[in-house]
Structure 1
Amino acid sequence: MLGHKIGIRNLGNTCFAASVLQLMLNITKFNKTLQQLEYKDEEGKQILKFFSHTENFQKEDLEALLVTGMKFVENINQIEQKDAHEFLLKFLESINEHCRDPNCSDLYNLFLIEKQIITYYSNGTDEEENISNEKFIFENVSPEIGDLQKHINSIAEAPHVLISDAPERISQSIRIIKSPSVLLFMIRRVEIDGDNAQRNTTPVKYSPEIMYHGKQYRLYGVINHNTNQITDPQWGHYITHCYEFATSKVYTFNDSLVIEDQPNVLYIGQGNMTPQTLAYIVAYISQDEIDSLFSASEGSNNQNGIQYVAPEVNSCIQQVNFLDSRQEDALETFIRNAPNPESTQATRIASQDLNDLSTPIILSFPESTSPTEESASQEKRAYQKTTNDARRLLTKLYQVNGDKKTPLEYSAESGIKLGNCKKLLYQLKKGESIEIKQYKRGRKSKITPHFAQLIHDELEEHSTESLREVARQIALQNDSTSNDQIPSYSSIYRYATSHRIADDFGCNVYSFKVASIRGPSSNAESNKDLRIERIKLLNHYITEGFVWSAVDEVSIEIGTIRRRAWSQKGEKAFINVKPQAYRCSAIASISNNGMSYCLLVPGTVNGELFQAFMKYLINSLQKQGNIVFWMDNAKIHSRIENIVQKGNHVAIYNAAYSPELNPIELIFGHWKSIIKREVKDWSNEMDLYQKIANCFNHIDPTEIRKVMTHVSTKVFAKVLNRENI
């Protein structure tokens, strides 16, 4: 049986550590050997303490292991997401560092960890373009992998190269392990090239049973790293799946949550390989050593168990280097200071000499460069609440069985996490009820149905009132009610912005926001019909191949100085320039091909200026083909019909009170934010206009296309669904 089925709580960004620890904790021989070792300092004793409290993990246990035992981070609040493979190496190195027991090497000999290192050498001077040459420790081994088993065989049989100019300790660290007890392979689906990352989907045959140096290995566990940010491998979450050989069951460890899962969750490609998966760390157990690695209750090797089918996996392993992980820093130092290829001598190791190499420590198997640190802002998962149904079930189970069952058994039967289950059982033993009270901490809410209706009506009828004004109006309407029974501002705020108002009235929660000015008929059915009609007409012309061009005018006002300034405390702040504001207007056009045009004029825009701009615009876009102009129904826009028709173009006037349907309104907002950020001062009015125009030119064509796509897909869809805008 698996030796450990207790979850480890995530402290914010520690899922990488929990996933590795679960994999190690469930290998009984590793766990017992670690606890039998003698440690020489407090750090080592802290590591021992963590593995001695596996049946009742607390938040402080993992924190003490990372901060005190491993010195992984100085403060738990500073921890950032790491690669699980790197944590495994650091964890085992910490054991080796703080242990004085010679049997410590037994832990290392259980594993073989494979770590990829690519050596780069540069030719040329600083003035010339450097040429990078790759040298692999293995000769004649292709970095492209289509079949994992065949690739393992090719590595085992490949000649190996040692660099003679390297320090002796590095040369000695490049060794091959013949038959370890546990194989760990890291398979990554993301290739990192500088600052760019992309998912590699090269198919790989991946079998739950493999042969290595004539020895059979069976799949034991998988650490799965997945994310929704495919293009950014710095985001994600680690989950561990472990296989129980005796029962043919799979258990999934997701931080503090432990569940029994389907066996095929281990087989990459059968229900678990998704586009969100970035990497796997896959663990194999030697077929002959399953009984010795796990407890005696693990039974026989389950040779008559599940029939494995080798699934297909979208993955790619680029190249492989076997080396002693304890010498990784030394190897990286050598790579940074490596001599030129011309002065580097390589020697070949004959296959018969491989048997003379001393056995190193651990194994892992990455496929590409190890991922960079993950962002601290990891996406949060939903909180697992212990429901009243689960509490009632636990109450019934306890009434029937009392102390005859252990907390672990109660946890498994009720579905409540072990830590919570122990607390609830303690309450039941004292004769207390464990059902959730109607209100938090037993406090009765002042928001009775009567006051709830008043709040809802006030927000609907007087939407511009602040919540303090709402509270004042409710108090006036209930002047005969005792003051301690009238809800306060904070009570009204909590109610209006919580799910309770949504449950009571079947609406969304309320929020106080900037209001859009609309006429009384803006969302009338007739105006909605007109919006739909104009959108369908626009889509018709776009489908016919017309270029969509959105046109409108905007007013821009900017002051010459800022009105706030720094001064010493207790003294007034003075400025020597008289405040003055400049106002100008602009006529602009954007197209769905990313092109944009702008005309700046002092004062306001009249019909003649608008006609002149349209003539210029049509002349500039004549090589683009037919154009459908999209604009609001302002009076000055109606004078351009003849100009548009002469060029075989079309003008469509948007319905009234519908600025959201014109994408140029969003571009205007973006333009004004650039002006506010960039335009600080100017010498004269013409200089100001030039700087405003330069800000318009800074708008990326990609941003224009993105905005027009957003309006045509998201906003138009709301109109076609007859929603208010």
Structure 2
Amino acid sequence: MRPNMFNNNIQRPPSTTKDKMPSQGLSNYPLLLNKAQSTPSQDIKSNYIYSSNTTFAPNTQSQQSRFIEQNTQKQNPSQFNQQLSQQSLAISQQNTQKTVTTNYSMSQSQPEQYQYKSMQNVSKGICGLRNIGNTCFMNSVLQCLLNIPAFNEHFLNGDYLKDLNSKNSSVPNEYSKLVATIRNTPNFQSIAPYGIKSAVENVMPCFRGYAQQDAQEFLVALLDGLSLGLNRVKNKSSYKEMNDNLNGRTLQDLSKEWWDYSKSRENSLVLDYFQGQLLHTIKCSICGSSSYAFDTFQDTSLAIARAFKILEDMNLERLLDKYVIEEAIDDYYCSKCKKHQKVKRKFTIWRLPHILMFHIKRFEFRRFSSDKLNHRVIFPLELDMREFVKDSLDQSVKNCQYFLCGIVNHSGTLYGGHYTADSKNPFNQKWYRYNDSDVREIDIKQQRYDTDGSSSPYILFYARKSLY
């Protein structure tokens, strides 16, 4: 598991050894329409049924009878769902031009070049996910990822297959099937995501069963599983200790050396979108020597307790300020002094990823008690990262304008709660609230996140404006 350099206090549970993860057989997605729980909307095709050849037929009584008769005489429901899932995946991989027209001239490091032109014969992906046993944590994360601009088109059109590793293909294949099934499901209906749950829990056994889990930990596990299965590196370079001194080199040189070494061990479609780089500087207050370490990150954990002592509204920018500001450490070993000294430590966001993910650490674990922190969070719909990357010399920080595109919300307490998601559809630019099977459109400006804030947001997703 890649380290999260912003997570200072709580370490995630260790994952299984990636290199020993077994390959898994692919489960199938049963298509479970859920009209009873869907929200009335002008977009609901209430007079349509979903047919196995991915076309929509008028829902007349005679046509319904013929549809049911043709598809149930020789198949039971599970067989019908299996056939439907397989056809959805095949259509998404073999008939790309029939589902989405794009200007696709994209390199590994330039996903923002992927531009949408039109969506024809395809649902906009406004689909609920059934709660299949305390899986709201999973559903809320998936709804945010499924609406990331550009990213999911690689799975819909089969582009991901060129990097697929046969031994670790389960998570990428199941995610691709999930994207295809959702895109071929009428808006405001719902499906049951058994396949992706099975794939992730085989990669991370701690997610087996139906106990409530942490959404942020599931997000990390899912991205790790996708990246492992799509790793372009077939012969991983041996581990080595990186030099933390400049020795006549510039910071740009050192950054590239660390970045290239990281890419020599793991390089995937997931990292193209989600991975950034962080500079960690330590300066001894006695001898004045400095050491530098460049580490990669995907999600940024922001601790409320460090910045706020009482229950007050908190601001995303203020929390970020706390992480890029220099701080003093009283007892740190200086390699030049050969003993522990007082030092100053500073984090610098050096490379910006295309997708920024901020994890707000609402669960505080102490020696004798633990609790949820219900501070209201104020955060913008448009985020300018210039102030937080001003010390960086990397070219990536020139493109630092982001749109908010997803929110994982948590309501309740540490010991019992519920996850939902608010997510921006990349095709119609409208916002929807996903509460398991239930989906409804919302006015994001009326939520007043940028002025009043909320005590519910747990994970925030921001996408570069150039991705839209």
Query: With structure 1 as the length reference, what TM-score do the two structures score?
Result: 0.30
Instruction: Compare the two structures and name the one with the higher helix fraction.
Output: 1
Considering Cα pairs closer than 8 Å and 6+ residues apart, tell me whether 1 or 2 has the greater RCO. Answer: 2
Larger gyration radius, structure 1 or structure 2: 1
Query: With structure 2 as the length reference, what TM-score do the two structures score?
Result: 0.45
